[in-house]
Structure 1
Amino acid sequence: MGKKRRRSSRRRPARRRVLGVALLMDELDLETMREYDSFEFSDYDTYLATCEREMRIMRRAGRVVAETFDPVEYREFCREMELEADDPGSRARYAALVCEEGDPLPYRGEPIEEFVAALAGRERLRAMSFRIEALLLDVPVGRVMEAEDYATDIFLWLLSRGGAGLHVFTCHVGGEEGDPLEIVAEVEIRRNEMMLHGEAPLVLSQMLTLARATGTPGSLIMRSMTRRIDPATGWPVKIVRGWFIGNGEISPLSGKEIRTASCTDQRTGDALPPEPAVEYVDAPHYRP
């Protein structure tokens, strides 16, 4: 008769609770919340310090995640749910909802100012993404799909030209109407693995799609970090390449052109000293 399998006496680790919070992003948001008598904070620094202390305590009991607290959206939430807005319980229900339905950012114990800055930066990216989607609504679907394929091909081609290491993209797309779209996105290549830093690379792809689908002009700069050390500064050397975006295509800039553009104050037109440990090189042509 075979031996009976004995069940392990070790307990499986319990799943950690997920605790969600929603944070006000700035002084203006806090000032809006001060209309409620139950809201006890009068200045933003005290509010942040209190949130940091409470979130670090919460981490002892579970995993802490956070979303933004939008006072305008909160007021609408209370109206739709027939809740009293001037009630801490209503604020807690709103925080739980936005964390459940959103994509909350995990809090790992970093300084609260740093965490709020990351949360605010992600909100700006989301707003930019929504704006691009709105601009593409009037473009024929077929053209948008072709532009998406083109943007993906361009992005992968750029990374293949840069090789292994960290690549920082600065993209500007915009015409005369409305504020231009600007973004800085980081992508790291390790052997054959591509690592996107945050959501910015995805929004960058959307910007390239918009430029392709609508013919909106712009520019793209790629800074690639190398392992070479600049003897004058002791810093790693950065390789900088640039392209002009026009009529749905990217056109390479020479090293001299990108150096001139990078070393000119865009507001005054005055010359700026060249950035140390940087090499400006001719950008390659994209040939599909």
Structure 2
Amino acid sequence: MGVLFPIPNDSELDQAEKLLLALLEKTGDGIHTITLNAEGIGGSDHKQFHFAQNWSIGGFVPVDEMAVAFGRLLAVLVAGAPGGIVLRTWGTKDTVRAWAFREGKTLPLTELETFSAYCRNPETGEYKDPPEDVTYADAPTL
């Protein structure tokens, strides 16, 4: 049996598209990965979307085969499934930002909240050292 999620309506599909565009505007130049996680009845699902962009030359290069499944899961989150978004910008020192989804709305996480979510063992609650090549940052409002 699969995981059961809310079924997005047309309005929620449109909202998901607008949310993705807002996220892309806030992302900036570089190579990025957006990871979505959605919790449903019977389990969870996650999808990644890799892309590069350079606004000075008007370039946005997505990995197209990821886009449809990613968009569907984003619409599931907009439809009310709990979950989150993690944006990782790759570089000499990677930057990680995150948002939580509550009742279809994105809530930006602070640097400390993002660190706490990703540097803590979810089973034991113990903190682990963050990787040396990663910084955590406040997420902007979308």
Q: TM-score range by the shorter chain?
A: 0.7 to 0.9
Q: Report the residue type matching 2:27 in the other structure.
A: G
Q: Could you tell me how far apart the structure 2 residues matched to 1:155 and 1:189 are? A: 14
Kindly indicate whether residue 106 of structure 2 is the aligned counterpart of residue 242 of structure 1: no
Q: 2:59 aligns with which of 187, 193, 211?
A: 193
Higher helix share: 1
The answer for the alignment partner of 1:283 in structure 2 is 139
Name the SS for the 1:208 alignment partner: helix
Q: Distance in 2 between matches of 1:209 and 1:262?
A: 24
1:224 alignment partner, one of 89, 95, 113: 89
Which of residues 205, 208, 212 is equivalent to 2:71?
Answer: 205
| Larger displacement relative to structure 2 (177-186 or 253-262) | 177-186
Report the equivalent of 1:179.
43
Count of equivalent residues:
139
Amino acid at match of 2:140: P
1:44-59 matched pairs, under 5 angstroms: none
Deviation at 1:167, TM superposition (A): 0.9
Whether the aligned pair in 2 keeps the contact of 1:170 and 1:184 (CA below 8 Å) is yes
Instruction: Measure how far apart 1:135 and its partner are.
Output: 5.3
Does the 8 A contact of 1:264 with 1:272 survive in 2?
yes
Query: C-alpha displacement at 1:170, in angstroms?
Result: 1.5
TM-score (norm. length: structure 2) = 0.87
Task: Supply the distance in 2 between the matched residues of 1:155 and 1:246 (Cα, whole angstroms).
Answer: 17
1:163 has 2:28 as partner? yes
Taking the aligned partners of 2:51 and 2:112, their CA distance within structure 1 comes to: 25
Please name the residue that 1:270 is paired with: 126
SS at match of 1:199: helix
CA contact (8 A) 1:222 1:240 kept: yes
AA partner of residue 155 (structure 1): L
Distance in 2 (alpha carbons) for counterparts of 1:171 and 1:267: 20
Deviation at 1:201, TM superposition (A): 3.2
The residue type equivalent to 2:22 in the other structure is: W
Distance in 1 of aligned mates of 2:88 and 2:133: 12
Change (3 A) 1:266 1:184: farther
Bigger RCO of structures 1 and 2 (CA < 8 A, at least 6 apart): 2
> Is the CA contact 2:6–2:81 (under 8 Å) kept in the aligned structure 1?
no
Letter in 2 for 1:192: G
What is the rounded CA distance, in whole Å, between the counterparts of 1:186 and 1:256 in structure 2?
Answer: 25
TM-score in terms of structure 1 length: 0.45
- Where do residues 254-265 of structure 1 align in structure 2 (5 Å cutoff)? 254-265=110-121
Q: State the percentage of identical aligned residues.
A: 25
Q: Distance in 1 between matches of 2:137 and 2:77?
A: 24
**Structure 1 residue 256: Cα displacement:** 0.5
> Does the CA-based 8 Å contact 2:77-2:104 persist in structure 1?
yes
CA root-mean-square deviation:
2.1
1:136-165: CA deviation from partner (whole Å, max 9, x where unpaired): 2xx6xxxx1111111111111111111111
Structure 1 segments unaligned to the other structure (5+ residues): 1-127, 227-235
1:187·1:201 contact (CA, 8 Å) conserved in 2? no
| Paired AA for residue 258 in structure 1 | T
Amino acid at match of 1:244: A
Please, which runs of 5 or more residues in structure 2 have no aligned partner?
Answer: none
